[in-house]
Amino acid sequence: EPQQGEQIVLSSTEHHAPGAGAQGFSALDTEKIRETEEKYVFETEVSKIMKIIINSLYKNRDIFLRELISNASDALDKIRFMSLTDSASMSTNSNLNISITADPVARTLTITDSGVGMTRQQLKDNLGTIAKSGTSEFLSKMEESKKDDVSLIGQFGVGFYSVFLVADRVTVASKSNDDPAQHVWVSDAVNDFTIAEDPRGNTLGRGSQITLHLKEDAVEFLEPSNVESLISKYSEFINFPIFLWKGHNETIISEKSETLESNDDVEEEEIDSEKTEPEELTEEVWEWSQINTQKPIWTRSPKDITEEEYVEFYKTFTKSNDGDPIAWSHFKGEGDVDFRSIMYIPPRPDANFYQSLASATNNVKLFIKRVFITDDVAGDFFPRWLSFLKAIVDAEDLPLNVSRETLQQHKTLKMISKRLVKKALDMFAQLAKNDEKKYSEFISHYGVALKYGAIESQSHRKKVASLLRFRSSQNAQDAVVGLDHYIERMKPDQKHIFYASGMTIEEIEQSPFLERLVADGYEVLYFVDPIDEMLMQNMPGYDGKSFSNIAKGDIKIGDDSDEAKAEHKELEETFKPLQNWLKSTLSEYIDKVTISKRLATSPMAIVTPEFGLTGHMEKLLAAQGMNAAQKEDALYKFMASQKKTLEVNPKHPIIKALLDQVESGEPDEDITQLVTVLYETTSIRSGFQVKDLRGFTQRIEEVVGKGVGAEVAKAPTLKKEEEEEEEEEPIVPEDLFVGGHDEL
């Protein structure tokens, strides 16, 4: 009977598979387990996962090995970390490795590690009774994708259960330093499992041994060459030796051949292969052979590492399977701090990245002198807007016995963090310079994160701002216009960076404010991310140029010669009577009527004063769902109370005709009603929401009624504020709020 101790014999010529396997338990052992075992029921969601797993198609089922090796490696990392502060903890088994062996007779595959192991309680909690946070997430993902692709399982922290893709019974023997006895966990999947004290005693010293009783159709995993290629495929970057028990053929020169060799006279015959053949013997030699032999990738020189290796490493360390990273940066920090790092831009942000920007994510794996320390320092490494990056950091200057708590305060860590941020920005800039296509992919996923960066980061604002990309009147389809590029092609007389904001590109493109500017050849940036307004409040300018919202205030464009000024003044004079009449008719909504310089084809537009809320901002605030306190906020009240300016286009036939009407006496009620409708449609086109939707509809119906010669009830005239008094309670009616905008 092979004994467990053999797992650390690294070379052996025995022909049987060492390690427990099914042979590890004699009939008597099995009997004893049955007598003493305690039965537990799997947590409901764990059961559901197992049902999915055992019923899933066989696509990708070989990932079970990756999951087991990854768990083993995590367990080894844990004990190595513990031994930094408690060297005695290693004495229960001083070899840190993973070994894998198959037993074709018993049809078992066994994976053994000398990691931390599990106590009885941990076996119960970790392998079945306590659902992990990722459990339900994984379930809904499986339901949603309906693809039967279980390969994502590792990302959700439930990788262990993938063993049931290939096994119908699984045994886990485990020994922890914190439990005097070794225990055995056994399950046939789905409903329940048992735990008993291991009748064989403490065979492991420390660690875990997982034995898979393979399904009839999974015997391919008994073949060492198959297992070997899986290890190479999935676990090349595991930082502990992985040994596989495997055989190979060795040719042994027989006695007879030696006699031949010693005979000088038969030299010629020796060359003749036919004659030497019977003297050679082939023997099958079985031994432990180490499959992963590379040193950690980040310690190697970048020029010796292929793109494929970087990509594979990314997939291994992030446990992800959703595509290749967009870019990476592998570098060595030298000088005040010595460290090595590889940083990756993932193919897309984690599903909840934008929702949880405030909470740190485990995106940095910290090693100290090649020893894995923690993946829980994220917030200390990257500012939250950069926390979409995934990185490995291996520091030379930190003391190995540093505790996780004091680690966060460590000066070295802060210095490394500064370097990483700089390097990350360099990586983005490089990508922008060298690969337009990839950069626009990057922007499409992380553009919003960069905008947060430009808002939050004082020290890097300029650099981050230079990395932003926007859509514009010249490239409406893709966000490709950078601020430097914009400034380069500004018109000579242009002093500001113009922008227009809206919910969609279509909305912006229909904006009356755009007409003249675009017709005159000015480029206007299109802001469609809700965060853009916030960005503008935090970043008033770039490279000496200020931003100017084309829907706001007095816009400075075009001809400012004396001649043009005189001409404008004349227009103001001519249209004075109309301006006055409009101002008094629409006095509840506007407090100024001006002659427009920015309109080309529309008759009028509503402009927000410098400190007021644009239509777009009003919509954003409504969508965000302001609470009563926010509505009482002095700044909000101030902004919301700013009355708008109505700009009229003196070249438009409607405006000209209206002027004639006003000049030939006070316009009648019909005209007032029509102007009201015009004002309302203008406010829609200017990005505002119609406040009195019912009145508006009735007024339109009245107009149409007259047009087609039908009798329609008289519509109310534009509601005045006094009439709305009783509605004043909620300043913005609650039902206007449509869901939350996480980005704000």
Ligand X SMILES: Nc1ncnc2c1ncn2[C@@H]1O[C@H](COP(=O)(O)OP(=O)(O)OP(=O)(O)O)[C@@H](O)[C@H]1O
Shortest distance in whole angstroms from residue 214 CB to ligand X: 19
Shortest distance in whole angstroms from residue 156 CB to ligand X: 7
Shortest distance in whole angstroms from residue 372 CB to ligand X: 14
Which residue in 17, 52, 65, 118 binds ligand X (CB under 6 A)? 118
**Which one, 233 or 422, has the nearer CB to ligand X?**
233
72 binds ligand X (CB under 6 A): yes
**Which one, 178 or 267, has the nearer CB to ligand X?**
178
21 binds ligand X (CB under 6 A): no
Q: Residue 594 in contact with residue 642, Cβ under 8 Å? A: no
Stretch that binds ligand X, among 113-121, 282-290, 404-412, 585-593 (CB under 6 A): 113-121
128 binds ligand X (CB under 6 A): no
Cα separations in angstroms, 697 against 230, 606, 694, 701, 715? 68, 20, 5, 6, 9
**Which one, 116 or 227, has the nearer CB to ligand X?**
116
Q: Which of 245, 12, 285 is nearest to 112 (CA)?
A: 245
Which residue in 53, 100, 142, 158 binds ligand X (CB under 6 A)? 158
- Find the DSSP H helices in 117-191: 120-124, 133-145
Buried b or exposed e, range 154-180, using 16+ CB within 10 angstroms: bbbebbbbbbbbbbebbbbbbbbbebe
79 binds ligand X (CB under 6 A): no
**Which one, 117 or 687, has the nearer CB to ligand X?**
117
Shortest distance in whole angstroms from residue 445 CB to ligand X: 23
Shortest distance in whole angstroms from residue 392 CB to ligand X: 17
208 binds ligand X (CB under 6 A): yes
- Structure tokens of 380? 């200390």
116 binds ligand X (CB under 6 A): yes
**Which one, 321 or 594, has the nearer CB to ligand X?**
321
Return d(Cα 657, Cα 682) in angstroms, integer: 17
Q: Which residues are annotated as a binding site for ATP?
A: 67, 71, 113, 118, 126, 132-134, 155-160, 404
126 binds ligand X (CB under 6 A): yes
394 binds ligand X (CB under 6 A): no
Return d(Cα 547, Cα 537) in angstroms, integer: 10
Which phi and psi (to 5°) does residue 12 adopt? -155, 150
Shortest distance in whole angstroms from residue 331 CB to ligand X: 28
Cβ-based neighbours of 325, under 8 Å, separated by 6 or more: 310, 311, 314, 344, 345, 346, 347, 390
Q: Residue 259 in contact with residue 276, Cβ under 8 Å? A: no
Shortest distance in whole angstroms from residue 306 CB to ligand X: 26
Q: Which of 584, 577, 589, 572 is nearest to 672 (CA)?
A: 584
Return d(Cα 4, Cα 21) in angstroms, integer: 10
99 binds ligand X (CB under 6 A): no
Restricted to residues 498-557, the positions that interact with ligand X (CB under 6 A) are none
**Any bridge partners for residue 290, and if so which?**
243
Stretch that binds ligand X, among 56-64, 115-123, 415-423, 482-490 (CB under 6 A): 115-123
Stretch that binds ligand X, among 56-64, 110-118, 630-638, 659-667 (CB under 6 A): 110-118
Q: Which residues are annotated as a binding site?
A: 67, 71, 113, 118, 126, 132-134, 155-160, 404
**Which one, 72 or 479, has the nearer CB to ligand X?**
72
Return d(Cα 119, Cα 160) in angstroms, integer: 17
Shortest distance in whole angstroms from residue 21 CB to ligand X: 17
Amino acid letter, 454: A
Strands 644-648, 590-595: parallel, antiparallel or unpaired by DSSP?
parallel
Which residue in 137, 157, 354, 510 binds ligand X (CB under 6 A)? 157
Element (H or E) spanning 592, and its range?
A: strand 590-595
154 binds ligand X (CB under 6 A): yes
Return d(Cα 240, Cα 437) in angstroms, integer: 38
Restricted to residues 305-344, the positions that interact with ligand X (CB under 6 A) are 319
**Which one, 81 or 339, has the nearer CB to ligand X?**
81
Number of residues that bind ligand X (CB under 6 A): 20
Return d(Cα 589, Cα 606) in angstroms, integer: 10
Cβ-based neighbours of 67, under 8 Å, separated by 6 or more: 153, 154, 159, 160, 162, 163
Four-CA torsion 343, 345, 346, 351, nearest 10 degrees: 110
65 binds ligand X (CB under 6 A): no
Stretch that binds ligand X, among 69-77, 284-292, 613-621, 652-660 (CB under 6 A): 69-77
**Any bridge partners for residue 288, and if so which?**
245
**Which one, 206 or 552, has the nearer CB to ligand X?**
206
**Which one, 374 or 624, has the nearer CB to ligand X?**
374
Q: Residue 524 in contact with residue 499, Cβ under 8 Å? A: yes
Stretch that binds ligand X, among 152-160, 371-379, 397-405, 676-684 (CB under 6 A): 152-160
Which residue has the closest beta carbon to ligand X? Answer: 159
189 binds ligand X (CB under 6 A): no
Q: Residue 285 in contact with residue 250, Cβ under 8 Å? A: yes
Shortest distance in whole angstroms from residue 196 CB to ligand X: 18
Distance of CA 332 to the CA centre of its chain: 25
Which residue in 67, 394, 618, 680 binds ligand X (CB under 6 A)? 67
688 binds ligand X (CB under 6 A): no
152 binds ligand X (CB under 6 A): no
Q: Residue 355 in contact with residue 370, Cβ under 8 Å? A: no
70 binds ligand X (CB under 6 A): yes
Which residue in 18, 19, 115, 482 binds ligand X (CB under 6 A)? 115
Which residue in 25, 42, 64, 160 binds ligand X (CB under 6 A)? 160
**Which one, 160 or 688, has the nearer CB to ligand X?**
160
Q: Residue 236 in contact with residue 294, Cβ under 8 Å? A: yes
Return d(Cα 63, Cα 148) in angstroms, integer: 13
Distance of CA 385 to the CA centre of its chain: 11
Cβ-based neighbours of 259, under 8 Å, separated by 6 or more: none
Return d(Cα 93, Cα 76) in angstroms, integer: 11
**Which one, 46 or 402, has the nearer CB to ligand X?**
46
- Residues forming the site for ligand X (CB under 6 A): 67, 70-72, 74-75, 113, 115-118, 126-127, 154, 157-160, 208, 319
